[in-house]
Amino acid sequence: MALKLPVYMDHAATTPCDPRVVEAMLPYFTEKFGNPGSRNHKFGWDAEEGIDYARDAAAKLIGANEKEIIFTSGSTESNNLAIKGAAYMYEKAPAGSKSRGHIITAIHEHKAVLDPVKRLVKEGFEATFLEPGEDGIITADMVAAAIRPDTILVTLMWANNEIGTINEIPQIGRVCRGKGILLHTDATQWTGKMPTNVETDNVDLLSWSSHKIYGPKGVGALYVRRHRPRVRLQALQDGGGQERGFRPGTLNVAGIVGFGKACEIALAEMDSDGQRLLKLRRRLETELNQAIDVSKVNGHADKRLPHITNISFGFVEGEGLMMAVKNIACSSGSACTSASLEPSYVLKALGVGDELAHSSLRLSLGKGTTDEQIDYAIKEIITAVTKLRAMSPLYDMHKEGIDLSKVEWAHH
């Protein structure tokens, strides 16, 4: 069978809806359209049954109680609610300090964590932005060293969306627990792909999103611990008191049912999908690294998600590379800002230089990824890099053994 182009290798950006998810959602648009808040008729009860099913499936996926699940519009909202909600609830100004409280995070978090933290800093909180080493990992020791008497919250992602590396969340949770500090984790790339248990992993607040696990867009959840400790949050909006008052507003019933189905499938198929994707990713990395000199997988070699890789290719120009691999739908190491191409701040955090960051590809695999697609991607990327290097005088110099770091470049 002919390969359908372009090939989708951007599952860290979003995933297609699983047909089983769509099927589960359909009745909730037309027949079971009631408002789950309508407590006195069948339409309301039917909708509530869907919500209960989803809450149970979401809780099971992370080892929580269903009372601890707050449905939101996705991880961005969950992160905002967790970070700002906890900061406003637990703020404390120690004697003689002007700070409202201290928060610990890291420089290579997703913007949906960085921006809420920066907002809080503008409002009088203080924050430490931890810096990872070349492996991209934040360790429990780094967190322990950053804790202050006025620290109220640690917010660190479980796995990184650009490079797939895994932070030491259970160990970090243990450090926080010992100090009476809350741990929030943006688990958007982790949960649904890797085993998650909020009890044994010592997590107090956890965000995840439906559309990264084959559910519909615009839905997600925040786990809010109810015991040891009971976490309180200040709601960010006022309204009808739904979701224990944390997130008022009529629930997105069909979306939530789809999310629940996605959680159920994720739990059932996590092991087999993970093992299959790990093999495919390893083959992709190995064959590219063998065929292309001066190429490098970014971040820790083993402490990473099965399905995400991020590879830098030396001596190729970033924009040219993206153009040359346009039949592979993936992400580059550049972020488009209004005026220019900025190198990825995540790769910069690992010490990857601007040039190499631009010529990096994030390839993220998923349920639909086949052996054939991996073969195609390997072939396409090798061809593209070879072609671009044939036009690169720097690559010629490198081949001749000239140490380019010692060359004095003309300024212009």
Ligand X SMILES: *Cc1c(COP(=O)(O)O)cnc(C)c1O
Catalytic residues: 336
At CA 325, angle to CA 12 and CA 371, rounded to 5? 65
Contact status: 186 vs ligand X (CB under 6 A): yes
Minimum Å distance from CB 104 to ligand X?
17
Amino acid at residue number 113:
V
Q: How many residues bind ligand X (CB under 6 A)?
A: 13
Contact status: 212 vs ligand X (CB under 6 A): yes
Q: Which residue is nearest to ligand X (CB)?
A: 74
Minimum Å distance from CB 289 to ligand X?
25
Nearest Cα to Cα of residue 258 among 195, 224, 209, 222: 209
Minimum CB distance to ligand X smaller for 15 or for 295: 15
Q: In what order do the strands lie in the sheet with 220-224?
A: 69-72, 220-224, 205-209, 182-186, 151-155, 102-106, 126-130
Neighbours of 375 (CB within 10 A): 14
Scanning 74-82, 165-173, 265-273, 348-356 for contacts with ligand X by CB under 6 A, the matching segment is: 74-82
Question: Which runs of E-coded beta strand occur in 142-219?
Answer: 151-155, 182-186, 205-209
Contact status: 220 vs ligand X (CB under 6 A): yes
Q: Phi, psi (5° rounding) for residue 152? A: -115, -25
At CA 85, angle to CA 84 and CA 86, rounded to 5? 90
Contact status: 112 vs ligand X (CB under 6 A): yes
Minimum CB distance to ligand X smaller for 208 or for 395: 208
The one among 11, 110, 225, 362 contacting ligand X by CB under 6 A: 110
Contact status: 155 vs ligand X (CB under 6 A): no
Which tokens belong to 26? 């359909």
Contact status: 310 vs ligand X (CB under 6 A): no
Three-state secondary structure call for residue 364: strand
Q: How far is CA 199 from CA 38, 206, 233, 389, in A?
A: 34, 12, 19, 51
Minimum Å distance from CB 114 to ligand X?
10
Scanning 26-34, 183-191, 318-326, 353-361 for contacts with ligand X by CB under 6 A, the matching segment is: 183-191
Scanning 17-25, 70-78, 304-312, 340-348 for contacts with ligand X by CB under 6 A, the matching segment is: 70-78
Question: Which runs of E-coded beta strand occur in 137-263?
Answer: 151-155, 182-186, 205-209, 220-224
| Per-residue burial over 196-229, b = 16 or more CB atoms within 10 Å of its CB, e = otherwise | bebeebbbbbbbbbbbbbbbbbebbbbbbbeeee
The one among 7, 87, 142, 157 contacting ligand X by CB under 6 A: 157
Minimum Å distance from CB 166 to ligand X?
12
Instruction: Report the alpha-carbon distance of residue 374 to residue 372 in Å, rounded.
Output: 5
Amino acid at residue number 296:
K
Contact status: 188 vs ligand X (CB under 6 A): yes
Which tokens belong to 298? 């970014």
String marking each residue 280-299 x if it binds ligand X according to CB under 6 A: --------------------
The one among 50, 74, 173, 314 contacting ligand X by CB under 6 A: 74
Scanning 63-71, 72-80, 260-268, 395-403 for contacts with ligand X by CB under 6 A, the matching segment is: 72-80
Contact status: 161 vs ligand X (CB under 6 A): yes
Scanning 16-24, 47-55, 69-77, 283-291 for contacts with ligand X by CB under 6 A, the matching segment is: 69-77
Minimum CB distance to ligand X smaller for 116 or for 220: 220
At CA 66, angle to CA 63 and CA 72, rounded to 5? 100
**Which residues contact ligand X (rule: CB under 6 A)?**
74-76, 110, 112, 157, 161, 186, 188-189, 209, 212, 220
